[in-house]
A and B are shown apart, each in its own frame.
Chain A
Amino acid sequence: MRLLCLCLTPAFVGVLHAGEQWPLLRHTSYVVALAPEGSVIRASLSCERRASYPEWLQYTIIDSSGAELARGEVAPGDRARPRVEVKRPGIHVIELACGWNVCTCAVEGLPYAQVVKRRLPLQTIGPIPRMYFYVPGKCAAFSMFFSSSVTGEGLRLRVRDPEGRQAGTYDGDADDLQKLSLRPGPGQTGKAWSFAIEKPTTPGLALDDVLLHFSDEIPPFVAARAEWAQQLGEGGLR
């Protein structure tokens, strides 16, 4: 019920501009958007070639009943702007599969976020300046799990609390799955936190492929805006 109310009142809307399109997604990812009745989902998709990989981005837009509303492909180097009129208000899912190439996705005018959980980790390459996730009110502790399994690659992960203060950091190689545990202080729950992925400071280590997900306490959404992370996180969906 609460989710429905949120869907009907998209209080926080916005459009990402060129140059702000991250994370760069690899393999298969899912983006969710909250769409009120009568609204239109306009996704801005791009597929970027990495090395000589030939895969095209294949996308599917699915409504809350699981029905496919649109399918399409984007060639490496191209962009697409699929548009779907919303008939069934609520959560909509955009499936993005680009193999070893990378893709980006922004949804115009609606709150949206990446789905990030153990079975659907964030599969990204390169830096992420800042993305937000929601820490629920009663969360005493949570963890972030991440890896950068290619030899010679690592990452610097910086986590910030709702006030923007550094709450945790990891810097180095991550061939195996690493864990960063965090314990919110008083007044720091029921709010959006953020993280950034940067080049590791260890000499000789590069930043490229990174996999990341959260422990089960955290709602499975990572958004470009704090208010979107909060809105989706408070909806209770898992």
Chain B
Amino acid sequence: MGTTVGGRGATLMRVFSLVSFTRAVVTLVVATASAAWAGAGEDWVSEPPITYVLDYGSKHLGHPEWLDETAEAPPTLLHLGKDVPMTHNWGPIEALGGENQAYGKGDYIRRLSPQEVAGRIGGLKAMVAQLHQRGVTMVMPYICSMTVAGHHQTRTGLWELYDHWSDYSAFGLGPQPELDVTDWLQRGPDGGMVRFYRYSGDAYPAYAPNHRYAACANNPGWQHWLYSVTRLAASCGYDGVFVDNGSSQRCYCRFCRAQFRQFLMARCNSTQLDRLFGLRQPAEITLGQKGDGLLYTETLRFWLETVHKHQAAIAQAGKAVNPQFRVFPNGGHGRPENVKLAFRDSDYVMFEKSVGDYGTHPGLARLKIVGDVAVSKYNDNVYEYKLTVAAGGKPRSLVLTRAGYPRRDPDLELNHWTAYLGMAEAAAFGSGGGFLIRPQYSTFGPALTMCRGFFESHADLYSGYRPQALVSVLHFPEQKLYGNTEHLSVVKRLTRALLDEHVLFEYLMEEEVPAPGSESRRLVVAPGLEYLSRQQLRALEDYVRAGGNLVVVDPTPRADLMGQALRSDLLEPADGQVAGVGDGKVLRLARVPLAGIASRLSQMLGRSVRTLGTADGPAPRWIRANAWRRHTPGPHALVYHILNYATPLGVTATPPELQQGLELRVSAELMDGASAQAFTPERAQAVQLQVATTDGMATVKLPPFRVYTVVTVDSI
């Protein structure tokens, strides 16, 4: 009897009770997962950041004053609402702009005549061309991967379009799909309609008296329609589409059932199907539900792959018109598995960070509790930017933040300085991504112009690098598919601890467990990895035996990817103890220390891991740093980005204080004979820096800055 891991469903228990699991099965599943994701790859290098404005206004087309306003500070990427010939949810309607919920009633949803659609296409073409002419590099309107609006009984909304399909065929819609719109919808295990936005009453409030439905990404009728919508957008000159609800796929319809059968059969032979899932014939394969253990893991994997194909097909539809067409799905926030698997071929991904105790805008939130007692909190988006870097720079992160949700707090709003911080953060920690700015050009225009100007005129600070870090954190997005939600939580706590103490780090994903003998001067952290393949575990053990330094943070591995119990005594010394293993060392921590992680890691590595300091001691925790090393030929060998998160949020906030007395500390061998310079958008000229070397460490005194400075190290 094999040892089982608790909390699994009956199917998996049956699977676990089998005496043996073949190595071949493990290899098969892991290899398939790896094949789906190319990883960072040796060729990948960083790209310059972009500036990004989201403008869901409805008065764009036919409003030249809006074009003038946008041209005051044109962003690299301008993301619009449903400024399209035909909306994904209603079809061709009178309203423009907004997202799914906006303009869903009354005259707004009046169906346009074919003549009106033709006129709209002409108008949109001219509008997009004007935006390009005035300096916007990319313009992308809004579509959604799944929302259908209308009423399946009264045949309003998209049903009405379906009933008049032939009137619009001239716009490239092709023949009317055989399936009625009602048959495009996602279905639950019981056959009922799946709704992602639950509501009571007789109508979806924003669409009353109509409903909001969720279409299935595997449905040929919906695919035909959505890809037509995308082609029409591309034909207007758009450079891509933003795809909302990018990963909302939880469907058990007949198309999904059939495709899941193919999916699982491609991953397992009949013996494996029997052993792993208790399925004797392919016809018995059904999509799993929560509690079905490995079957549900495979179901989640199937839905992710469905989303991946759907996004790729949307891009392909646009590329048929414009080969440079891009897709920009929403759905990165809290879902690293989407970033790694579902959006791996998408160009951008939105992290919609709505909810946070102090809002989610980057910077200092100062909160009075009672009397004179106040707390200072420093919001950041470092995790999101580093996640996409670890995924190989694609998709690129675009981060949406808010001043509280649903209610906005004026004291947590962006201002000029925090908008600048947000864009600088995207530049410092991300690659090719950006930070969302609202179209309030009188407030944010100067920061937009300053940042875009700096990014474009100093592209050499951002192009052609890979992360430079002493610490590699193993961040495995697929842990979530096995039900391990603790991993992400530990990674985020670790991220905060490392940032607070100025330890440079990177994330490595499943396929990047360090090889034995590599990087023994660095340190690898395995945080909350409850599920590992036997190969991954062996690789970690070999890495340590060959001289590597490993920190294991609980929970430690307990099962392999088949659910079979897994344990490594090598990786589980007592809490807080460093154990020698072969030529290497393992430190186990029951939890992420709230303070003092840099000391622990420095002790283990035999050298300081802190990158920043002052003459008197550590740098303050609101100063954060990231570093990159040159990977392709270019002017700078190393680039350090330093940011001040004590930049106050709020509409009436004062400017951030000048940060002075900071020192960058780098291993002397990296600085040997090198020169250093400091750049910042706050100053026109670069500053040559003095480098002092003592005891194997080079110290570079930083010139004062308010929000952001970049230090380059150039070999002589």
Contact = CB atoms under 8 A, between A and B. Distances in A.
Given A28-B357, A52-B485, A54-B486, A75 B373 contact: no
A62 B375 contact: yes
Q: Kindly name the residue among A71, A93, A115, A149 whose own CB sees the greatest number of chain B CB atoms within 10 A.
A: A93
A58 B489 CA distance: 13
A115 B369 contact: yes
Given A71-B594, A73-B594, A151-B198, A238 B486 contact: no
Contacts of A55: 489
Contact of B595 (A30, A32, A71, A149): A71
Contacts of A71: 594-595
A59 B374 CA distance: 15
B370 interface: yes
Contacts of B488: 54
Given A52-B483, A151-B198, A66 B357 contact: no
Q: Kindly name the residue among A32, A97, A119, A237 whose own CB sees the greatest number of chain B CB atoms within 10 A.
A: A119
Given A52-B485, A75-B591, A97-B357, A238 B375 contact: no
A115 to B, nearest CB: 6
A224 B200 CA distance: 35
A151 B195 CA distance: 13
Contacts of A56: 489, 493, 591
Interface in A48-82: 52-56, 58, 60, 62, 64-66, 71-73, 75
Contacts of A93: 369-370, 373, 375
A175 to B, nearest CB: 9
A220 B370 contact: yes
Contacts of A40: none
B372 A66 contact: yes
Given A54-B485, A54-B488, A55-B489, A64 B371 contact: yes
Interface string A85-121: 0000001010101000000000000000001000110
B367 interface: yes
B409 interface: yes
Given A54-B488, A54-B489, A72-B594, A64 B372 contact: yes
B367 A238 contact: no
B199 interface: yes
B54 to A, nearest CB: 24
A45 B371 CA distance: 24
Interface string B451-489: 000000000000000000000000000000001011011
Contacts of B486: 54
Nearest to A51: B485
Interface in B170-222: 198-200
A66 B373 contact: yes
Nearest to A211: B407
Given A28-B357, A71-B595, A151-B199, A64 B489 contact: no
Interface in B575-596: 591, 594-595
Nearest to A27: B357
Interface string B672-684: 0000000000000
B591 A73 contact: yes
Contacts of B373: 62, 64, 66, 91, 93
A164 B591 CA distance: 47
A232 to B, nearest CB: 9
Interface string B357-380: 100000000010111111100000
A63 to B, nearest CB: 8
Contact of B485 (A53, A60, A237): A53
Nearest to B367: A119
A152 interface: yes
Nearest to A90: B371
B485 to A, nearest CB: 5
Contacts of A72: 594
Given A75-B591, A151-B199, A152-B198, A237 B409 contact: no
Contacts of B372: 64-66
A23 to B, nearest CB: 17
A65 B595 CA distance: 21
Contacts of A65: 372
A91 B370 contact: yes
Contacts of B198: 151-152
A13 to B, nearest CB: 20
A120 B485 CA distance: 28
Interface in A107-161: 115, 119-120, 149, 151-152
Given A52-B485, A119-B409, A238 B591 contact: no
B594 A32 contact: no
B371 A91 contact: yes
Contacts of B490: 54
A129 B411 CA distance: 34
Contacts of A30: 369-370
Nearest to A32: B370
Nearest to A3: B371
B594 A238 contact: no
A149 B375 CA distance: 27
Contacts of B357: 27-28, 97
A120 B370 CA distance: 11
A237 B370 contact: yes
Nearest to A64: B373
A62 B370 CA distance: 12
A65 B375 CA distance: 11
A238 B374 contact: no
B324 to A, nearest CB: 40
B697 to A, nearest CB: 29
A71 B357 CA distance: 18
A32 B373 CA distance: 10
Interface string A205-224: 00000000000000010000
A166 to B, nearest CB: 29
A236 to B, nearest CB: 9
A16 B488 CA distance: 35
A32 B369 CA distance: 9
B367 A115 contact: no
Nearest to B374: A66
B315 to A, nearest CB: 33
A75 B591 CA distance: 9
Contacts of A27: 357
A107 to B, nearest CB: 15
A120 B369 contact: yes
Interface string A158-200: 0000000000000000000000000000000000000000000
A30 B367 CA distance: 11
B711 to A, nearest CB: 31
Interface string B375-400: 10000000000000000000000000
Contact of A152 (B200, B370, B374): B200
Contacts of A75: 591
Nearest to B485: A54
Contacts of A237: 370-371
A28 B591 CA distance: 21
A171 to B, nearest CB: 17
Nearest to B373: A93
B109 to A, nearest CB: 23
Contacts of B411: 119
A58 B592 CA distance: 12
Contacts of B595: 71
Interface string B84-107: 000000000000000000000000
28 contacts: A27-B357, A32-B369, A52-B483, A53-B485, A56-B493, A60-B375, A62-B369, A62-B373, A64-B371, A73-B591, A73-B594, A75-B591, A91-B373, A93-B369, A93-B370, A93-B373, A95-B375, A115-B369, A119-B411, A120-B367, A120-B369, A149-B406, A151-B200, A152-B200, A220-B370, A237-B371, A238-B370, A238-B371
Top 7 A-B pairs, shortest CB-CB distance = A54-B489, A28-B357, A54-B486, A54-B485, A237-B371, A237-B370, A30-B369
Given A32-B370, A64-B372, A66-B372, 11 more contacts: A28-B357, A32-B369, A54-B485, A54-B490, A60-B375, A64-B371, A66-B373, A71-B594, A91-B370, A152-B198, A220-B370
